[in-house]
Chain A
């Protein structure tokens, strides 16, 4: 059966670099990263090796269509997802009409809703309300028992009646299906740092195979809990960037002096993907065509990448083949590029083995920090934007590359016909999406 063609027609993004895709793209191209000291109150609970993170900018939720009642009901990962999807749908030029004013839901003017799917990735779902509700659950009975309740850590004022729906990881997908009245497959992928890439890949496959005509896909994550416990989880595993003498230069993927990744507060990216012919018929502008996808599993360790990189190599090679390409066709790699010692070593080795020093190589996380389950969605969006604008951001803070690859040292225009965006995850999940320039 002939595979249908799939194009990206809309992009929405919120990251530490901005609250819209254009804001994020401008910051990437200007080399503006987001690095700050972790919230001081976290120091009360533990002394962490890393003391920096990438916070989100202030977000005006009502301006993004999320009122105060929804803010009480939803986890921030869900709100980020809804906001990014609104931008993506608007960006795709798809009209909306109110479906239920009370529920704040809408219908899309376009393909039948049962032909539209949702494919979202997240690492941990609504972990922050879970932490808050658990704190309230445990500490509320103590308030009458301690002589000075102010010694208790701060906690939310109530055990939220929406504790369960705000916690469940599938909320990020369900919320989009509800918001936009989409009745096709509605799936959540939880492959940690690769979740967003896996989600985009499966949306591509579903449209290409004909099971849906349009999909919202990408990733979402929110990791700021009141006590810094989630941050500590990554810190204690020694995965995070050390502050060093200059915090602004601490996050440096593929550099000799890298020390780990920059923990991001959160983010979300949603892509509108459509069957190419249907998109053309409605006169949609396309950023890029998705042409290939593959995934493999290390089967090695729950936390460490398999040292030889064999399964990653196989996965990227399979994605390139799935796209009908050969490695020599690839001229841009949006690397996983976390900045951890082992990750960058293995990844750069695979890139060298498969592609040599031909393609441009960059790491979006060098500017955004690591948005975990959102990162694959963000990087797919950045890859599509790079193809559309024929420009790339730099691999920020790279001074002493660990391998002789064609790392992007300065942002600017470039020729990109075929691009790979790849992600690897705790657990051992490897995934890559291949995109082409719209000709």
Chain B
């Protein structure tokens, strides 16, 4: 089960990086195609998530995160594993 606090922190980070409206965010939205992230934005998002949650996100994991829901699920799992805070 996903923690609402984690979802909110992930969404706030996405809003900060991509300057999208938080009310537009939904789990199925694709970060590149729907939210307009370019490759630099994607790198920045990973860096911002690392900053927000501590720890590190490796490149392979980062490449697998296509949607907002993917990111929330991934971060939730890593927090549960205590790899992120």
Contacts and interface: CB of A to CB of B under 8 A. Distances in A.
A158 B19 contact: no
A431 to B, nearest CB: 37
A72 B18 contact: no
B25 interface: no
A363 to B, nearest CB: 41
B47 A161 contact: yes
Interface of A: 67-69, 72-73, 101-102, 157-158, 160-161
A161 B44 contact: yes
B56 interface: yes
A125 B14 CA distance: 30
A161 B43 contact: yes
B16 A68 contact: yes
Nearest to B43: A161
Nearest to B54: A157
Given A157-B50, A161-B44, A161-B47, A69 B17 contact: yes
Given A102-B18, A157-B54, 18 more contacts: A67-B16, A68-B48, A68-B51, A69-B16, A69-B17, A69-B44, A69-B48, A72-B47, A72-B48, A72-B51, A73-B44, A157-B55, A157-B56, A158-B47, A158-B50, A161-B43, A161-B44, A161-B47
Nearest to B17: A69
A284 to B, nearest CB: 33
Given A69-B44, A72-B47, A72-B48, A158 B17 contact: no
B10 to A, nearest CB: 15
Nearest to B20: A102
Nearest to B51: A72
Sort chain B's interface into a size bin. 10 to 19
Contacts of B51: 68, 72
A158 B44 contact: no
The majority secondary structure among interface residues of chain B is: helix
Contacts of A102: 18-19
Among B16, B51, B55, B56, chain A packs the most CB atoms within 10 A around the CB of B51
Contacts of A161: 43-44, 47
A158 B50 CA distance: 9
Contacts of A101: 19
The list of the 6 closest CB pairs from A to B, nearest first, reads A102-B19, A161-B43, A69-B16, A69-B17, A101-B19, A72-B47
A138 to B, nearest CB: 17
Interface in B8-36: 16-19
Interface in B51-66: 51, 54-56
A69 B17 CA distance: 6
Contacts of A68: 16, 48, 51
A73 B40 CA distance: 11
A179 to B, nearest CB: 15
Nearest to A68: B16
Contacts of A157: 50, 54-56
Contact of A160 (B18, B47, B55): B47
8 contacts: A68-B16, A69-B17, A73-B44, A157-B50, A157-B56, A158-B56, A160-B47, A161-B43
Among A69, A72, A157, chain B packs the most CB atoms within 10 A around the CB of A69
A335 to B, nearest CB: 44
Contacts of B17: 69
B51 to A, nearest CB: 6
A158 B16 CA distance: 20
Contacts of A73: 44
A67 B54 CA distance: 18
Contacts of A67: 16
A342 to B, nearest CB: 45
Nearest to A161: B43
Contacts of B54: 157
B49 to A, nearest CB: 11
